[in-house]
Structure 1
Amino acid sequence: MLRKLLNASRLQAEVSRRLHRIHEIVEDGVKIRVPRPQKIEPDASGCNWTMKHFGGAIGYERDIETVLKAVRAEYNLSDVEEKDGSSLFPGMPDPD
């Protein structure tokens, strides 16, 4: 399967979104801190990123592993970090 590309911020948000809709996590009122994805050499499956050191995750390791497995199968980490599109001066080019 061909993976879609996401930048680090969007990949982090996607993992967080999926984690925080798991019934047990919602029911327990837990807020798991999701780390930024780290670029790695593509593994045997072709995935080029990993995540380590989730915060507030004790007892939810299996849920995290399940979500990571699914997201890693769908997405690769893009080298380009997109701008958010907001500018202090609309209509003016960004300085960089």
Structure 2
Amino acid sequence: MIRKTLNASRLQDEVSRRIHRIHEIVEDGVKIRVPQPQKQEPDKTGCNWTMKHFGNAIGYERVVAEVLDAVRAEYNLSEDTKDIHSLFADPEGS
């Protein structure tokens, strides 16, 4: 499977969104702090990022790991470090 790419903040948001929709976490009213993804050399699966040190995740390590594994299988961390302002620039430069 070819991975899609996301920047660090979008990856962080995706992991957070998936974690916070898990029934057990919603039911318990827990807010888990999701760290920024850290770039790494591609592993044996081809994933080029990881996340460590989730906050307030004690007792939820298994479900957090499942979400992380699923997102890592779908996405790679973008190499692109464009300035946020370039998103709103006129493509013609006028």
Same-fold status (TM-score > 0.5): yes
- Distance (whole Å) between structure 1 residues aligned to residue 15 and residue 3 of structure 2: 15
Query: What amino acid is the match of 2:11?
Result: L
| TM-score (norm: length of structure 2) | 0.87
CA RMSD between the two structures: 1.7
Gaps of 5+ in 1: 92-96
1:25 aligns with 2:28: no
Percent identity over the alignment is 74
Query: What amino acid is the match of 1:38?
Result: Q
Gaps of 5+ in 2: none
Query: What amino acid is the match of 1:21?
Result: R
1:47 aligns with 2:47: yes
The number of residues matched between the two structures is: 88
Structure having the higher helix fraction is 2
For residues 35-88 of structure 1, what are the alpha-carbon distances to aligned partners after superposition, in whole Å with 9 as ceiling and x for unaligned? 0000000000000000000000000000010001100000000022452757xx
Query: What amino acid is the match of 2:30?
Result: V
- Distance (whole Å) between structure 2 residues aligned to residue 7 and residue 80 of structure 1: 7
Q: Which runs of 4+ in 1 moved over 3 A?
A: none
